[in-house]
Amino acid sequence: MRRSIATVSLSGTLEEKLRAAAEAGFDGVEIFENDLIASPLRPRRIRALAASLGLGIDLYQPMRDIEGVDDDRFRRNLRRARDKFALMVELGADTVLVCSNATAAALDDDARAAAQLRLLAETASEYGVRVAYEALAWGTRVDDHEHAWRLVREADHPSLGVCLDSFHILSRDGDPSGIRDIPGEKIFFLQLADAPRMAMDVLQWSRHYRCFPGQGGFDLTAFTGHVLAAGYTGPLSLEVFNDVFRASDARRTAADALRSLSLLEDGLSRSAGEEPAAAEGEGARGAVRLRRLPEPVRPSGFAFVEVAAEPSSAERVRVLLGALGFAHTRDHRSKPVQLWSNGDVRVLLNSSDPRLGHTWSGAASVTALGVSVPDPANAMRRAERLLAPPLPRRRDPAESALSAVAAPDGTAVFFCADGPGDGEPWLEDFSAPPVDGYREGGGARLTGIDHVGLLQPFDHFDEASLFYRSLLGLRPDTSVEMAAPDGLVRSRALTDPASALRVALHVSVLGGEHADTGGGAQHVALGCDDVFAVARSLREAGVAPLAIPDNYYDDLACRTELRPDTRERMREGGILHDRSEEGEFLHFYTPTVDGRLFFEVVQRVGGYQGYGAANGTVRMAAQRAERSR
């Protein structure tokens, strides 16, 4: 299908918006009127520029408050419309969006509104323009698509159809399946936007919080399925008003936007059970052919997590790993990377080695995720189709071909072939075990990497969520907010259906200088079956856990039935507690390296699926106290 994006979804000048849309691979754009008015380019220049970039101008929008008014006012409105139709001829745009009247001038008179829409369409047809009529959710008289369609049917003019906007329809919580009954040729345009579920004034919600399909709470696949079933064959076009996208790099936003449409089209193609099979790599639905992405990726867990640190910090990371029962078992054949293992749990430590010329500068950090997948080549093809930036790999002759892409925060995501134990191919880049001369790990037994916590850049939180969703099939949880001493942090966890791979993304609710709220922390959470035993090993290795205030344990005594001796052991180990209807969660934190990187040890009891967010405030306050010591 043809893919379009409204210029209002992107930042910059009109020219910058067009270039960004073309670079991402869009086929067309909707020109937002204010972008044109504010542009020094005249309509013919805009047309020529778009053409030279390979972009069609699929829609001019919006025309407002035209219909359903008294005759005098309609005459003036029609004059105004003629001027805009003439402009559209210059611009080379053949469809105009007309929003339902949202002013007090709109009369409660459907016959009048339909007659005026007919006249408007008749006038438009003189210019070769089609009118796509859309119900705004806050329209005065016409506020749902069914009403808009009744007026269009009543007006009955070949140059008049409806424009369907997923936000206006899905924000009303109705059943959109009636769309199937609209003749496809009368659906002139389809605008897609997702949005987080919010209970707020629909106009504010619409103007500030829309996001790309797959980033919010609406089921855009089902919605678009209805529109295709009706026989719609026009573009899938994104119209997203979003405060962050308006202010972010337009090229990144455009890539994020196209990723969202690729995933949507793929999803439509795969869910089209009732349709006849199309060519390989394609699906079909109604009258359109749908591009299909390479097969979905089903991760089976973390092959490894890589952390990087400067020499003195790397030594502190080694102490923590040792105390957590990891042993340094292998060295990378060509890079200053050590492999630390606790059973099958593996952490790579990338540290500066001046002899080799590799130097990590900056605070200790999680720099790469190794994701185990059945077919790394397929995963990489899918990632590239989803515009994930591939990472160049310096290939030393001895190295295996390990493919990686960059996540929106810069973290490398490696696709590693599944394999039993030490048989995984990526391990061949490392020396055979054991490495001599390094201390062995302690006795603590870990069961896996439970999750990784990554602080995200403010501008790219929704992008990151869609990145992991589309590349790895992770599903986002609902967001939660935690109060750090220096501001609120929003967290959203993503996990695959089998809970084999969990990533928790964090972001300050404010941008800029507040981006480091919560200490800018990144962490690796390690799973275990006996958190008390691991805590004991840590202390025996001479490492004190993050200090949790006694006040926390007093409060725990108030609100839980934990036995006093259990609480006492928790206090000794700095162990925190959370509970859900499904089970319990026990967890503690190591000290933080460089004020940024720490480890967590977690034990899930029963079916607990969370991340201990209820303890986030206590954890971040304790880390703040740790920093100021």
Give the residue carrying structure tokens 């009954």.
Answer: 181
| Closer residue to a copy of itself, CB minimum distance, 170 or 373 | 170
For the chain, the farthest-separated pair of C-alpha atoms sits apart, in whole angstroms, at: 92
Position 143, amino acid: D
Ligand-binding site membership of 239 (annotated): yes
Ligand-binding site membership of 191 (annotated): yes
Q: CB of 395: closest distance to a copy of itself in angstroms?
A: 36
List of residues contacting a copy of itself (CB under 8 A): 11-13, 16, 33-34, 36-40, 42-43, 80, 83-84, 87, 198-201, 204, 243-244, 246-247, 458, 483, 485-488, 508-515, 517, 547, 549-552, 554-555, 557-559, 617-618, 621-622, 624-625
Q: CB of 584: closest distance to a copy of itself in angstroms?
A: 18
Q: CB of 383: closest distance to a copy of itself in angstroms?
A: 28
Q: CB of 581: closest distance to a copy of itself in angstroms?
A: 13
Opening angle at CA 387, ends 382 and 389, nearest 5: 100
Interacting residues of 268 by C-beta distance below 8 A, sequence separation 6+: 221, 224, 225, 228, 283, 285, 290
β pairing state of 337-342 and 345-351: antiparallel
| Closer residue to a copy of itself, CB minimum distance, 87 or 115 | 87
| Cα–Cα distance, 26 to 23 (Å, whole number) | 8
| Cα–Cα distance, 544 to 571 (Å, whole number) | 12
H, E, C per residue of 4-28 = EEEHHHCCCCHHHHHHHHHHHCCCE
Ligand-binding site membership of 134 (annotated): yes
| Cα–Cα distance, 380 to 546 (Å, whole number) | 39
| Closer residue to a copy of itself, CB minimum distance, 275 or 486 | 486
Position 257, amino acid: A
Q: CB of 246: closest distance to a copy of itself in angstroms?
A: 5
Q: CB of 63: closest distance to a copy of itself in angstroms?
A: 10
Ligand-binding site membership of 523 (annotated): yes
Which of 131, 208, 226 is closest to 170 using CA atoms? Answer: 226
Backbone conformation region of residue 67, classed left if phi is above 0, alpha if psi is from -120 to 50, else beta: beta
| Closer residue to a copy of itself, CB minimum distance, 429 or 463 | 463
Q: What DSSP designation does 174 have? A: -
- Chain mean position to CA 400: 31
| Closer residue to a copy of itself, CB minimum distance, 279 or 558 | 558
The DSSP code sequence of 86-116 is: HHHHHHT--EEEEEPP-STT--S-HHHHHHH
Ligand-binding site membership of 603 (annotated): no
Return the SS3 of 403: strand
Ligand-binding site membership of 463 (annotated): no
Q: What DSSP designation does 106 have? A: -
Interacting residues of 228 by C-beta distance below 8 A, sequence separation 6+: 268, 285, 286, 288
| Closer residue to a copy of itself, CB minimum distance, 42 or 475 | 42
| Closer residue to a copy of itself, CB minimum distance, 557 or 605 | 557
| Closer residue to a copy of itself, CB minimum distance, 385 or 506 | 506
Q: CB of 28: closest distance to a copy of itself in angstroms?
A: 21
Measured from the Cβ of residue 80, the count of other Cβ atoms closer than 10 Å reads 13
> Two tokens at 386?
């989803």
Q: CB of 485: closest distance to a copy of itself in angstroms?
A: 5
Residues in the annotated binding site for a divalent metal cation: 134, 165, 191, 239
Residues in the annotated binding site for Mg(2+): 451, 523, 600
Residues in the annotated binding site: 134, 165, 191, 239, 451, 523, 600
